[in-house]
Structure 1
């Protein structure tokens, strides 16, 4: 259980309250520091998966804990940007992304109980959604449009990527549902 990848995943979970507290500090660069912590957590997500494969330290505990850690920090970030921006243009895609995470997690759990988890395994579209979502959240959390006098338009990019993530999220949710439809309706067993 105490493999290097699992320890990194646990550290990522411990970063969640740190991320939230830092983001809401009464300090000029609090949002940028919070965005950096979120970025650090996102990097550890890639890193723990890489190490699990490279060191052959994949465990059932890690397979369970990794997506939980990801969903917790993403849910926190989505809630935080809806509060920060207080706009329907951020809230609607954030709710869609959060609803999709809950729906797909439940679908995967149910399909796993049916012994059909391969039917709804992570797809390329799901990975693209995650990448767009993470970059969007970093941009929106940071609230940076200019860095050291140089226009970088992170917030504008964040808005665009949030909508791309929402579209990919809907697409992947529909794809997973279609793949599982026979099992969900009972027609897979009958056929």
Structure 2
């Protein structure tokens, strides 16, 4: 009986460790600059002797990008635009906000995020799985963390433009914006009407706004 309990305990402990420590896999080489094998279309690592310092430098966030209708400009710095990040388990984002600009509620399924305010005043926060909200106005030099998978948001509440620099512990954190995920994904209309107390006209308006363009 003791042996059986011990085995069960070990299995449960191993499952706990596998879940709690889940993250991007550890690299087995110094670095891996990806390149496509033209013959097979498979991604391979560039021969390390052919790598240059330019593989490890990215200059795409010196300035803000194009602003959305919500007043947000977001420039992701991940392996898709910066191959030097491949296998390193990290990525970044530059987010700029016009006055009153909003980063709508969203979450990253594969990464924790830590964000520092470079300029401005941002109302920033997240919601936990008990529907508790943790939010306050953060200013230049303040840092806030958003735990993996929890819905979070930002809004510029200052009188000037604002900028945040965010960092993730994954080379591909993923991003799901709640409005477009709910109303732009093709979920059955009857379900959304019942879930949100909407009528068909209201739902059609939301789908037009947040659906794919």
TM-score bracket for the superposition, by shorter chain length = under 0.3
* Structure richer in helix, relative to its length: 1
**TM-score, L = length of structure 1:** 0.26
Q: Which has the larger radius of gyration?
A: 2
Return the TM-score normalized by structure 2: 0.24
- Structure having greater relative contact order (Cα 8 Å, sep ≥ 6): 1
Q: Which has the higher strand share?
A: 2
